[in-house]
Amino acid sequence: MAVAGEKTSPKPVSDRVLQEKPAAEKSWHEVVLQSLKRNDIRLVPYVPDRVLTTLIKNIHADPFFTTFPTAREEEAVGIVSGAWMAGMKGAVLMQTSGFATLANVLASLAIPYQIPLIMFVSERGTLGEFNYGQSLVCRTMRPVLDSLAMEYHTCTRLDEFEFIVDRSIKQAITTQAPVALILSPLLTGGKVFDK
């Protein structure tokens, strides 16, 4: 159920997988969408980020996904945790500052209950940041991930991105452990000061 966004005519998953472009021709957001699909990740709650705009739009447009905005990132974590326990896989999209709100839910729900929480974090705060607060909160992200001994990768290159995303999703599910995939401005272009 796509709450917002237009419906397109549904096709069998196998057809769509066959339509995947060679990895070298895909944009980073096509890699994310197709990797989610290939791994049967259907539930995608998110708190938006400028960099994620096209990805979010395309996920809404694809009837394979159930996708919707949540008011807070930890709400989205609760939703995908409940869904996974009931047999539906999910992933959460957010921005760096949203990740900074998650320490408690990671430490009290995702990690101790062994839930394969898959997070895509659009990285603000570095490589051209124009908002001082964003650059400060960004510095808390990796120390939090390290202090919880969580798996994470900073994704900077398109040529290795599909490998990282696909393998990380599979590892999260098989080891029942959360993973954060940090989408660097080196990969996405980031958000730059334009006014």
Partner 1 sequence: MSAAMNTASNTPARNTKIMNRFDLTSRLVAKLTNEEAVVGGIGNTNFDLWAAGHRPQNFYMLGSMGLAFPIALGVALAQPKRRVFALEGDGSLLMQMGCLSTIATLKPDNLTMVVMDNGVYQITGAQPTPAAAVSDLVAIAVGCGLANSAWAADEEDFERLIDQSLTASGPTLIGVRIDDKPGVGATRRDPVQIRERFMVGLGARQAL
Q: Which residues here bind partner 1, judged by CB under 8 A?
A: 1, 3, 43, 45, 66, 68-72, 74-88, 90, 104-105, 107-109, 112-115
How many Cα atoms are found within 13 Å in the side-chain-facing hemisphere of 192? 7
> Which 8-state DSSP code applies to residue 173?
H
**Which residue, 61 or 79, is less far from partner 1 as judged by CB?**
79
137 token code pair? 């909160």
Minimum CB distance to partner 1, residue 56 (Å): 15
Task: Classify the phi-psi angles of 87: left when phi > 0, otherwise alpha if psi is within -120 to 50, otherwise beta.
Answer: left
**Which residue, 61 or 88, is less far from partner 1 as judged by CB?**
88
Nearest to 177 by CA among 117, 100, 131, 106: 117
**Which residue, 81 or 96, is less far from partner 1 as judged by CB?**
81
Nearest to 161 by CA among 3, 9, 33: 33
Neighbour-count burial of 69, counting CB atoms closer than 10 A to its CB (0-12 exposed, 13-18 middle, 19+ buried) = middle
Minimum CB distance to partner 1, residue 55 (Å): 20
Minimum CB distance to partner 1, residue 81 (Å): 6
Minimum CB distance to partner 1, residue 36 (Å): 16
Minimum CB distance to partner 1, residue 177 (Å): 12
Minimum CB distance to partner 1, residue 15 (Å): 24
**Which residue, 111 or 186, is less far from partner 1 as judged by CB?**
111
Q: The tokens 């001994």 sit on which residue?
A: 149
For the beta carbon of residue 39, count every other beta carbon within 10 angstroms: 17
- Distance from C-alpha of 195 to C-alpha of 174, rounded to nearest angstrom: 45
**Which residue, 53 or 108, is less far from partner 1 as judged by CB?**
108
**Which residue, 61 or 103, is less far from partner 1 as judged by CB?**
103
